[in-house]
Structure 1
Amino acid sequence: MTHKLDLIGFGGVGQGFVEILREKGQQLKAANEIEFKIVSISDLYKGSLHHPNGLCLDTVMKTVKETGALYDYPDTPGLVRGWSSEETITNSNADSVVEMTFTDVQTGQPAIDHCTVAFTNKKNIVMTNKGPVALAYDRLFSLAKENGVKWLFEGSVMSGSPALRLPELTLTGNDITEIRGILNGTTNYMFMRMEDGLTYEEALREAQEKGFAEADPTADVEGYDVLYKILILANVVLGYPLKREDVTCKGIANMTTNDIKEAKEQGRRWKLIGSLKKTDQGLLATVQPEMVSLDDPLAGISGAMNAITYECDLSGPITLVGAGAGIKETGFAVLIDLIHIERTK
């Protein structure tokens, strides 16, 4: 079975996904009887290519590594250049679109528009973007269903760790009453270093030097990254149509060394926790620093790792620990979503 793909956005994750296909393509074909063939790549800065019979991945990666773009990819009969993202999605012969553009989490664009174009053209979407799932879940889910296509986004919460598929498939039958998680590796790393004696400013600077934090760290340190992931978990896992204004959000920017010392004296540890809890009044949603007991599974999560605990009525609490970011890990999330599409046809 050949599954044809458009890649929309070709940054680190897109290139990492191509490397996975180059490395494991034959193994996937033998084990799953699936061959993934990339017929289009469209990137706002690197250019766009389409060939209905598939692009040569070795040549694609050689071209990008040597020039930083796709413009020097050699001409071959049938090759099309210059399509926009929307033109690529509309005109290509792909079965699925892998959406990996840089998206504004305030608006969900351009990824929301890419989803709309793909679904109306009867194409599946696999994405790593948080924005469309957090901001337009009901509308886009309905549009995908109406057009008989799949929309999968495992990588939007904990990268390659199955934070969405675990409750959907493995914990099914449970009533999940609460979800609590460390869903941002940058702030978790900063808390660890503040426990080692660094000030907030020193910990942030070190996180930036190591590549955990962006030059503008606002989304991490103010809790907005976790907020969007909490919206996804509420909508997808618990079925609550929460909006941004429904979540109480507080970041870590005001944390001091005295706060860290106070937690140590109480035998506790600070973590930025995203939480969803079912109550008689509805779903309580928060993102805030919390002092957690050292016997809490989340207390032992160090460095830039992520973790999430599902409180289940039948199985009891289940905690998933894994990388919450990374090129290879997020590329794996794309791959497993695509395999899932094939397995559930």
Structure 2
Amino acid sequence: MTKIAFVGFGGVGQALAEILLERKGQLESCYSLDAEVVAVSDMMKGAVYKPDGLNVAQLLEAVRETGNVENYPDEPGVVKGLNSMETIQHTNADMIVEVTFTDVETGQPAIDHCRAAFEKGKSVVTTNKGPVALAYKELSGLAEKNGAYWGFEGTVMSGTPALRMPIATLAGNEITEIKGILNGTTNYILTEMEKGNSYEAALQKAKELGYAEADPTNDVEGYDARYKAAILSGYLMGTPISSKDIPCKGISDMTLEMVNEALKDNKKWRLLAQVKKENGEVTASVEPQLLDADDPLAGVTGATNAILYECDLAGPIMLTGAGAGLKETGFSLLIDLIDYQRQKTTAKI
């Protein structure tokens, strides 16, 4: 049995809890994943812990009706009010689902949460980019040293398996280049501009549809894609590069005239994250690039994400899918939990 503690319980955490509840039988019979939620700790929604397992339906009901998990029924063995570190260090959970609101500039508090879990020999699955982009070498080493699993599939393309797919199914290839549209907000804006909308109008529409935040800086300046390029470099290319060392240019100075001129030349602008391996050296960048209209990435429109792997044996392989969404991101955590169970079953961890 895998005893799970949620650190953070917003929309993504609740989506995973719902999947675990709805598919409990299937997960046990098909993947031998018997997941029991024993704890939740959220800065805004409170905390509840029950060593022999919480009733997930009652947990979701409490948070959705009242906004506070501490409205979970008082039962024998229930403890309330533990903070995130107490939940990680002092509960009987062996798997931490780390889905807090984290500052991507510092990677906190997710880095400290991962570090604390690994030091206790506890495994972690997370959708937070900060720990992988900023502290991959340290944390992966700490997890390995303490026999813990670290899963972060959802950090690049949400539930689209941009990390596990190449590791599992492109094994034997040397991947010489990875490039992709890894931010749906900017791709949506560029697509709208191709329809004749100004940058400002396209951005406003993206905000109205929920693709862009009230402050869209992280997306439109390319910072989100830069963190993802750092993750791809460290995990798939074996060369950790600090996100701050990756040259980065966004689309905020893109004009309708630039987009229209490109279309006249049968080209399209796309904001690409790119990681290259040449002569044993790995480099990464994020910038708008002009692509021929028949380039596979040029055909990716709207908020869709896509990633292209250049392989020495298989040739170019492209993967497309949603790069966001609560259920999709919750699914990315499930991918990691199933992989953890498979490795545990084969006694690798």
Bin the TM-score by the shorter chain.
over 0.9
Relative to structure 2, which stretch is displaced further, 297-306 or 239-248?
A: 239-248
- Could you say what the CA RMSD is over the residues aligned between the two structures, in angstroms? 1.0
* Displacement after TM superposition at 1:246 (Å): 2.8
User: What does residue range 1-345 of structure 1 map to in structure 2 within 5 Å?
Assistant: 2-280=1-279, 282-345=281-344
State the Cα distance separating 1:90 from its structure 2 match: 0.6
The AA in structure 2 aligned to 1:231 is: A
Q: Which amino acid aligns with 1:187?
A: T
Does the CA-based 8 Å contact 2:229-2:243 persist in structure 1? no
* 1:95-134 deviations in Å (ceiling 9; x for gaps): 1100000110111000000011100111000000000000
Gaps of 5+ in 1: none
Unpaired stretches in structure 2, ≥5 consecutive residues? 345-349
Q: What fraction of aligned residue pairs are identical, expressed as a percent?
A: 54
Q: How far is the alpha carbon of 1:31 from its aligned partner?
A: 1.6
Structure-2 separation of matches of 1:275 and 1:146: 31
**Structure 1 runs (4+) greater than 2 angstroms displaced:** 279-284
| TM-score, normalization by structure 1 | 0.98
2:237–2:282 contact (8 Å) kept in structure 1: no
Structure 1 distance, partners of 2:192, 2:67, is: 35
Q: Report how far residue 283 of structure 1 moved.
A: 2.2
Q: For the residues of structure 2 that align with 1:297 and 1:317, how far apart are their CA atoms? A: 10
Alpha-carbon shift at residue 279 of structure 1 (Å) = 2.4
Q: Is the 8 A contact 2:185 2:303 kept in 1?
A: yes
Look up the SS of the partner of 1:42 in the other structure.
strand
Q: 1:284 to 1:120 in 2, by over 3 A?
A: closer
Give CA deviations for 1:64-100 in whole Å, capped at 9, x if unaligned: 1111111211100000101000000011111110000
Letter of the 1:201 counterpart: E
String of CA shifts for 1:257-306, please: whole Å, max 9, x gaps. Answer: 00110110110111100001122482231101111112211111111110
Local SS of the residue matching 1:317: strand
Deviations 1:137-190 (A, max 9, x none): 000011101101111100000001111111111111111111000000000011
| Residues 129 and 228, structure 2, Cα contact 8 Å, conserved in 1 | yes
Q: Aligned residues, how many?
A: 344
